[in-house]
């Protein structure tokens, strides 16, 4: 019709039909393929949830064993890909290191370029699920200047990742089952969240028929930003800032309310949830337990709880329906598990990976998919004549 709806931030634009994840933001409900997040958090595992998101159903025992084994067989990287890690500056942020390495997978697996070749899409899916944890561990090793470890395929996905991250080549590494369980839970909670910024990016890039690796690499870059995945690190910086200022939570909250430049209550607010984020609820309930067991309590957790309590009883936050989101408590747990702040967003990416893959596959198979190409409302100059350089 020629009529353009102006919708900055796509607040009111449904870009796709999807059968993967259901969110009711007012009621604080999140379900993957119909299963409530609370049940999956309690009863499932990250690998099973990955299968559920990608293939649509919970696996049978045989399907799960087969899926697990396939992933275990693909964890190794091509030796030439490892050379990438020596090319980056040592203090490089691990997110762009990860997205570059994922992008490079297209060069190592040129059989992946046709998005409609189903057996190869399947292979790319397994390769990503298997190799991204290896890449993520190497991004960490690079940042601390330690040698890279080959994967140990007798271990599960999360255990293997922890060993490659924190272990040393010639030394045995005992995976702490509490740590592995906590990380597995966090990965489940991050595994999908319908049309968020990074998933929409994956779908948009994929809509041009770019392959899975290129699309996921773009998603990782979208997740890097502090308003999206980068918020988990920003929350920890915020909590540490409050602690260093003497723990004055009320003063921080009033700076947020006065909209001081660059001062936001990180880990609060959500485009869709106008209620407590159900993921944050689960994390909060387990944070005490996990932090108590692993770190023996945490001063920053006390500040976080006080901050939450102050905000939830303040009109500014109540009127705007701002509640803690998934990132509010995750950073504290990641820190207790031994990860540096800079690395938190990489953990979000590991968790979100199966969701991105599921959406890309759904998008590519959907006959209604068209290349994403929004319109604009032009606000620039109308037509004018070129002025020669000497007359300007």
**What does the block give as tokens for 325?**
């989101």
**Residue 324: what are its φ and ψ, rounded to 5°?**
-60, 140
As measured in angstroms, the least distance from the Cβ of 91 to ligand CMC is 24
264 binds ligand CMC (CB under 6 A): yes
**What does the block give as tokens for 77?**
């990287």
CA–CA separation, 266 and 282 (whole Å): 18
267 binds ligand CMC (CB under 6 A): yes
**What does the block give as tokens for 307?**
């901050």
CB 321 within 8 A of CB 25: no
- Secondary structure string (H, E, C) spanning 96-116: HHHHHHHHHHHHHCHHHCCCC
Q: For the window 212-251, what string marks contact with ligand CMC as x by the rule CB under 6 A?
A: ---------------xxx-x--------------------
DSSP label at 370? -
Q: Which is nearer to ligand CMC, 142 or 203 (CB)?
A: 203
Q: Which is nearer to ligand CMC, 31 or 274 (CB)?
A: 274
- Chain positions 303 to 322 lying near ligand CMC, rule: CB under 6 A, are 320, 322
343 binds ligand CMC (CB under 6 A): no
Name the active-site residue from 270, 277, 298, 359.
270
CA–CA distance from 5 to each of 150, 366, 377 (Å)? 52, 24, 9
Binds ligand CMC (CB under 6 A): choice among 151, 167, 219, 269:
269
As measured in angstroms, the least distance from the Cβ of 325 to ligand CMC is 4
User: H-helix or E-strand containing 163?
Assistant: helix 157-166
Which residues on neighbouring strands pair with residue 299, listed in sequence order? none
Q: Is 213 left (phi over 0), alpha (psi -120 to 50) or beta?
A: alpha
40 binds ligand CMC (CB under 6 A): no
The closest of 371, 356, 294, 283 to 326, measured between CA atoms, is 283
As measured in angstroms, the least distance from the Cβ of 23 to ligand CMC is 11
Binds ligand CMC (CB under 6 A): choice among 85, 187, 268, 329:
268
Which residues on neighbouring strands pair with residue 324, listed in sequence order? 268
Q: Which is nearer to ligand CMC, 142 or 228 (CB)?
A: 228
228 classed as catalytic: no
Q: Which is nearer to ligand CMC, 121 or 220 (CB)?
A: 220
Q: Which is nearer to ligand CMC, 129 or 234 (CB)?
A: 234
Binding interface with ligand CMC (CB under 6 A): 9, 196, 227-229, 231, 256, 264-271, 320, 322, 325-327
Catalytic center residues: 270, 327
């Amino acid at each position: 019709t020629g009529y353009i709806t102006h919708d900055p931030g796509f607040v009111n634009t449904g870009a796709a039909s999807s059968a993967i994840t259901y969110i009711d933001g007012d009621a604080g409900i999140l379900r993957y393929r119909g299963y409530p997040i609370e049940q999956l958090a309690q009863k499932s595992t990250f690998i099973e949830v990955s299968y559920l998101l990608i293939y649509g159903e919970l696996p049978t025992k045989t399907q799960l064993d087969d899926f697990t084994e396939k992933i275990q067989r693909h964890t190794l990287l091509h030796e030439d890909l490892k050379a990438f890690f020596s090319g980056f500056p040592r203090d490089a942020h691990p997110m762009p290191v990860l997205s570059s390495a994922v992008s490079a997978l297209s060069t190592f697996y040129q059989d992946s370029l046709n998005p409609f070749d189903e057996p190869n899409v399947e292979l790319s899916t397994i390769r990503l699920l298997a190799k991204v944890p290896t890449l993520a561990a190497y991004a960490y090793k690079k940042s601390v200047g330690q040698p890279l470890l080959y994967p140990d395929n007798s271990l599960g996905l999360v255990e293997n990742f922890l060993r490659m991250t924190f272990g040393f080549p010639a030394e045995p590494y005992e995976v702490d089952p509490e740590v592995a369980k906590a990380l597995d839970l966090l990965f489940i909670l991050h595994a999908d969240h319908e049309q968020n910024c990074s998933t929409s990016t994956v779908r948009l890039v994929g809509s041009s028929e770019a392959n899975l690796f290129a699309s996921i690499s773009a998603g990782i870059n979208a997740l890097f930003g502090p308003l999206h995945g980068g918020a988990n690190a920003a929350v920890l910086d915020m909590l540490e800032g409050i602690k260093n200022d003497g723990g004055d939570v009320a003063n921080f909250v009033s700076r947020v309310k006065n909209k001081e430049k660059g001062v936001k209550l990180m880990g609060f607010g959500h485009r869709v949830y106008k209620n407590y984020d159900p993921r944050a609820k689960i994390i909060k309930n387990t944070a005490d337990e996990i932090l108590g067991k692993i770190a023996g309590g945490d001063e920053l957790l006390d500040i976080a709880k006080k901050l939450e309590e102050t905000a939830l009883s303040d009109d500014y936050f109540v009127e705007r329906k701002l509640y803690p989101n998934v990132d509010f408590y995750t950073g504290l747990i990641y820190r207790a598990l031994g990860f540096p702040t800079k690395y938190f967003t990489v953990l979000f990416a590991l968790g979100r990976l199966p969701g991105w893959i599921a959406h890309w596959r759904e998008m590519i198979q959907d006959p209604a998919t068209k290349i994403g190409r929004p319109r604009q409302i032009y606000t620039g100059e109308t037509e004018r004549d070129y002025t020669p350089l000497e007359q300007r």
